[in-house]
Every structure is written in structure tokens, then in C-alpha cells.
Amino acid sequence: MNKIDLYWDDTEVLPDRIRPDVEFLLNRMNRATLEVVASQPGEVILDVGCGRAIDAVNVSKSGAMVIGFDPSQVMLSHAREWIKRDGHNTTLLRAIGECMPISPGSVDKVVCKGALDHFADPEKAIQQMAAVVKPGGSVIIAIANFESLGFKIGKIIFGVRKLLRIKNPYKRLPWELPPDHTIKFDHKVILKAAGAHLKIERVMGVSVLCCTPGWGDMLARLPKRISRSILERLDRVAISKPEISDVVILVGKPVR
């Protein structure tokens, strides 16, 4: 099993300059996940790998009670500050996804957005998510697709650059696994991992071509309304083509 970073901090994860494609992806991923969760008043919802608890607080605004899990003391400290400013029915616990201190069959929904590839044992965490959901409840997972169309194009472009002996200006290419990740998920890998413990009911994609070399710079040179229109049109393609999308969102029911 991989080691668990109990003091992980996301402060330096995002670059100082966020290009239009990345900004769109992050915002759309947040909105799409919240839409899929569709929290209702009185529901108990578990946010696994809650980070700063921004999503947890947004979910709780519907009247749901949200429990946020995170193993990092640093991230939970950020989360407490966020809850102080905009807190609702949100509770925080320091815990790992592979061993949840929650009774089996006790929550209505579980959401894990952009965190599963940081876990020491992602499949064990999915098993736990399935176990704590009530019969008929849902597990929602949103995860980056490392075999997206944009990444595949990028690999080809940089493969040609390498043949031409053009120096790589980046320390790490977007499709290379970051040091704080434990597994490289793609559409097939997440379906296989989730399918072992969940009956998958819905799979959708979010955004296409994010981080393709030169794509963000080109969009930045366009008027904002035009770049936004392009990104929205591509996102509509992604919804029905999760295998090429930048992020995959799936919804499943526990298999008893």
C-alpha cells in the first residue's frame, strides 16, 4: 500500500496563471458534480477527500447534512476556516477513505471529487463508499482522465518534438502522474475499479482538450465570449463521450 500524506497541502497545486481551458474545466467539474449529487433537505451526504470543504458547504446549502473526510490536518485546517465564513450543516472528520468511521448503510450519498487518485488504496476506498451507503443510495465519483483526447494529442506533439530534439520546457507534462498521485486513472480504469463494488448507472464526461499544448494560449488570445462558447460546445460533446473527456463522473449504486 502507498503511504498516506497526513499533512498534504493544495496551496501550490494550481499555477499562478490559469488559462481559460483549465479555469473552465475546474468550474464545470464543480458544477457538474453538484448537479449529479442533487442533494435534498434532510439527506446525509459523505464527502470523501473533502479538502477545503468548499464542495461540502455548497452541498449543505440545500439543507442536507454533510460529513467531510480528509486525512490531512493541513487541509482540515483550511476547511475549518472556510466553514467559519460560510458554514452550514457541515461536520469534519480526520479519516482515510480506506477505513471510514461510519456505520454501514447509514448515509444517503457519497461523493468523491478529484481525490481518489491521491488515495493509498483507491479500490478499497470505493469498497468502503459502497458499504456506508444506504440501500438505494448513490456513490458519485469525479476523477481526471489521464487518457483524454487532449493528453493523447499532447503525447503525439511532444513525441514529435523529442524526435526533432526540441527541448522540453516543462518540469512535468500534464499527462505524467504528479508526485502526490498514487494511480493513473482513465475511463476504463475507473469503470473497472468502481464496477467491482457498484452497479454503475451513469457515466458522463466533463470538458475536452484541456491542457493540450498551445490550446490554452490560443483561447486566451480570443475574446472571452468566443473562447467560452468554444469550451461550452466541446463540453456538450464530453457529456456523451467520457472516454475522450478531461474528467469522468460516474454514479453507482452499492452491490449487496
- pLDDT tens readout for residues 27-79: 999 999 999 999 999 999 999 999 999 999 999 999 999 999 999 999 999 99
Q: Look up the domain containing 89 and give its range.
A: 28-147+182-208+239-254
The candidate with the shortest Cα–Cα distance to 54, out of 16, 85, 95, 21, is: 85
CATH of residue 119: 3.40.50.150
- Scanning 87-223, the segments in alpha helix (DSSP H) are 122-132, 149-163, 187-195, 215-221
* Burial annotation 204-239 (CB, 10 A radius, 16+ → b, else e): bbbbbbbbbbebbeebeeeeeeebeebbeebbeebe
pLDDT computed for residue 223 by the predictor:
97
Quote the CA–CA distance of 83 and 90 in Å, as a whole number: 8
pTM (2 decimals)?
Answer: 0.94
Quote the CA–CA distance of 250 and 182 in Å, as a whole number: 20
pLDDT computed for residue 7 by the predictor:
73
Q: Are 247 and 52 in contact (CB under 8 A)?
A: no
Domain contains 63: yes
Domain contains 156: no
How far is residue 135 CA from its own chain's centroid?
A: 24
Q: Which residue(s) pair with 249 in the sheet?
A: 142, 204
CA angle centred on 163, ends 171 and 176, rounded to 5°:
30
Domain contains 71: yes
Domain contains 122: yes
Domain contains 93: yes
Total domains present in the chain: 1
pLDDT beneath 70, residues of the chain: 1-2, 12, 14-16, 87
Domain contains 223: no
CA angle centred on 114, ends 147 and 251, rounded to 5°:
85
Domain contains 248: yes
Domain contains 140: yes
pLDDT computed for residue 15 by the predictor:
64
